[in-house]
Amino acid sequence: MTVDAMQDATTHRAKAFAIPRIDAKLWPLAGIVLVLVAQFSMIFTRAINWDEYSYWREVAYFADGRLDRPLQTFHVRLFEPLAGIFSTSTDHIVAARLAMFGFELVTLWLLYTIARRFTESANALFVPLAYVSAGYVLQHGFSFRIDPIATAGLLAALYFLMRRPLEGKSIAGFAICAAFAAMITIKVILYLPIFASAAAWQMMEANNRQQTLARLTLCVVAAIAAFALFFWLHAAGMTAQQPAIERSGDQFDSSAGWIFFVGIPPYLPMMLKSFVLAPVLTMMIAITPVLLRRREIALPAKAFFVGAWMPLLTLLFYKNTAAYFYVFLFAPLALACIPAIEAARTRYGTQFLALAFTLVALGVFAMEDRTTIDRQRQIEVNVHEIFGEPVTYFDQNFMLGDWPKANKFMTSWIMHRYHDAGRATYRAAMMERPIPLLLGNSESLRDLMEGRNDHYLLPADSAAVRNNYIPFSWPIWIAGKSFPATTTNNAEEFLVPGVYTVRGGPVLINAERYGENDLVTIERGEHRIYAEGDTVLVWGERLKVPVNPLEPGPINVDF
């Protein structure tokens, strides 16, 4: 065989066994699927964040007819059917996360669909990949908060706004979706730049600008009307005596001072971390303004990209930019990065770009904590085992769902207002009704109860809770008092009335003698105590320590 013949044969065999060229769209699509599979598992293994418990409490209260706030509570109507299915708030939230994952899938589809207005399919698929692979989106895109719902609603409204021609169905779709998102959260206003840019895109692309302007105006009017209708219907189901419009006004007034900041962002570490956990997207966000200046991009598209990039500036003045906020923020930014995606694909190739996004996300996934959620669930199981039926309690974040909570949500904003007001509301609550349980589900509360923080509550409140609750089963404190054998006819103030069990003893209470395991009814107020032996008085009728007590350790995961 000649050399030429051998080369021809080799070439033929190489062609016969050559790997077929993979369609460019399959690389980003494969990345999206891999990230979503990893994220889906996190629904069941990622620790519940403190505010997820608060959002579930609103659903539980609404199902029980106790919710009295119509603004920013529209999500309760979506999740009311879940109420009462499970025994713990943790399991209710896990179930609700499945629906939130559905909202995220809608968001991903909308990102792709909107991106197709400006680029080819392969580039458009990188937009949802860039979004879902961002670390904080991976961790919180399915969380039981308003952000995934509002993001899906706003992108749906954007989708309808960008349909051409802009006709009746599109106007109605925009109005319903925009009103729905506004009912979920008032921070929809932060998306105004991208909606303004979409309107500008419509005007610049229109054949009849006067007609298009009229239809855009109708979109706004219809959205306002739809919001008013949604609000009226939702508020009609509220049970508070105060008029719904007044309650909403009070809420807005009280929160206005906590929306904006001047100077250093209060969540600066989380802000920096959000970009560290999304390095590829971060570089694209940074380079987008340069590309918009240098590249030849049609003016309507350029206007849209500028508007989609503008929400980034909210980080300069909007205060509540904790980790979950980036589920909301990164969606328009991913759309703004279409020019950067095109440039990156041209320079580095489709495969490399898809792998870069995907590997970053899988790296974040690999570092996930997967045990804390079981500890959170066990806390609730233990509380149920101790009490058997709901009691009023103090805690940080409404962990016990539909159980009556005596204090407000202990966020930094609420605690700031509490200290500014200077009113001992915890002691006042204890004077109004029996509060047998204090759940130490935050480090600050535990530090308070264990004497490591004297300033978390006002002095009168600190004294009230420290002197009326004793550790029972970590991190559960129950109303009670401990008396050493040296206690001689002391006057002790009890702020939690009810039946108490004597542990130890003997002890004289108001000159009456009680021994081990005796029951004594104690009214609110001062009582004379004389302990002949070390004695502990524990609220309740011979309450038992849980079968599986929880060892001290983490019960929350940092952002």
What does the pLDDT look like over 238-249, one tens digit per residue?
Answer: 765 444 433 444
pLDDT at 239: 61
95 to each of 181, 185, 417, how far by Cα in Å? 22, 22, 33
**What is the mean pLDDT of the segment spanning 218-236?**
96
List pLDDT tens digits, range 383-422: 999 999 999 999 999 999 999 999 999 988 899 999 999 9
How much is the pLDDT for 68? 83
pLDDT at residue number 277:
98
Q: How many whole angstroms separate alpha carbon 134 and alpha carbon 426?
A: 41
The residue assigned the tokens 């997967």 is: 370
Of residues 67 and 340, more confidently modeled: 340
Torsion of the alpha carbons at 128, 129, 135 and 137, rounded to the nearest 10: 20
The residue to which tokens 């904080």 are assigned: 136
Distance CA 18, CA 123 (A): 26
pLDDT surpasses 80 at 356: yes
Q: What's the CA gap between 366 and 354, in Å, rounded?
A: 18
> Lowest mean pLDDT: which of 223-232, 235-244, 463-472, 504-513?
235-244
Rounded Cα–Cα distance for residues 472 and 475 (Å): 8
Buried b / exposed e across 88-119, counting CB within 10 Å, b at 16+?
Answer: bbbbbbbbbbebbbebbbbbbebbbbbbebbb
The predicted structure's pLDDT at residue 444? 95
What is the Cα–Cα distance from 234 to 79, expressed in whole angstroms? 14
Q: Is the pLDDT of residue 324 over 70?
A: yes
Q: How many angstroms from the chain centroid is the CA of residue 105? A: 17
d(Cα 258, Cα 193) in Å, to the nearest integer? 22
Distance CA 493, CA 468 (A): 8
What's the rounded Cα separation, in Å, for the pair 380 and 403? Answer: 11
Instruction: Tell me the per-residue pLDDT of 191-201, one tens digit each, with 9 for 90 and over.
Output: 999 999 999 99
Per-residue pLDDT averaged across 3-16, rounded? 41
Tell me the sheet residues that pair with 476.
439, 473
Count the Cβ atoms, other than its own, within 10 Å of residue 276. 10
Summarised one tens digit per residue, pLDDT across range 247-270 is 444 444 444 456 877 888 889 999
Q: List CB contacts of 225: < 8 A, sequence separation 6 or more.
A: 175
pLDDT at 488 over 50: yes
Query: What's the confidence (pLDDT) of residue 22?
Result: 65
Per-residue pLDDT, averaged over 91-101, amounts to: 98
Residue 166 tokens, joined = 């802009």
The two three-digit tokens of residue 79, written as one number: 């999740």
Q: What pLDDT, on the 0 to 100 scale, is given for residue 237?
A: 77
pLDDT band at residue 5 under the 50/70/90 scheme: very low
DSSP secondary structure of 260-272: B-SSS-TTHHHHH
Predicted confidence band of residue 164 (pLDDT cuts 50, 70, 90)? confident
Distance (Å, rounded) from C-alpha 218 to C-alpha 269? 42
Instruction: Give me the chain's average pLDDT, please.
Output: 92
Higher pLDDT, 486 or 3: 486
Closest CA to 376 of 88, 145, 55: 88
Distances (CA, A) of 538 to 387, 469, 516, 542: 13, 9, 12, 8
The stretches of 241-317 forming alpha helices (DSSP H) are 244-256, 268-276, 279-294, 299-309
Q: What is the pTM of this model?
A: 0.91
CB contact at 8 A, 170 and 204: no
pLDDT at 174 over 80: yes
Q: Pick the range with the lowest mean pLDDT from 58-67, 165-174, 235-244.
A: 235-244
Q: What is the pLDDT, as a whole number, of residue 21?
A: 55
Provide φ and ψ at 543, rounded to 5°: -60, 145
pLDDT of residue 497: 98
The reported pLDDT for the residue numbered 249 is 40
**Given CA atoms 255, 256, 257, 260 in this order, what sign does their dihedral have?**
positive
The larger pLDDT score, comparing residue 232 to residue 559, is at: 232
Q: What angle do CA 141, 154, 93 make, to 5 degrees?
A: 35
Q: What φ, ψ does residue 455 adopt, rounded to 5°? A: -120, 0
Residues above pLDDT 90, as percent of the chain: 84
What's the Cα-to-Cα distance from 30 to each of 270, 359, 515, rounded to whole Å? 29, 12, 70
Whether 17 shows a pLDDT value over 90: the answer reads: no
Confidence (pLDDT) at 29: 97
Write down the pLDDT at residue 558. 85
Report how far residue 449's alpha carbon sits from residue 388's, in angstroms, rounded to the nearest whole number.
Answer: 24
Confidence of residue 521 (pLDDT cuts 50, 70, 90): very high
**63 Cβ contact partners less than 8 Å away, ≥ 6 residues apart:** 76, 80, 83, 84, 402
149, 104 Cβ separation under 8 angstroms: no
Residue 211 pLDDT: 95
Print burial letters for 211-222: b (CB count within 10 Å at least 16), e (below 16). Answer: ebeebbebbeeb
Predicted local distance difference test score (pLDDT) of residue 15 = 41
Q: What is the model's pLDDT at position 472?
A: 98
Residue 218, CA distances (Å) to 166, 198, 430, 432 in order: 11, 15, 53, 52
Give, in degrees to the nearest 5, the angle at Cα 550 between 548 and 553: 160
In degrees, to the nearest 5, what angle opens at C-alpha 503 toward C-alphas 500 and 509? 55
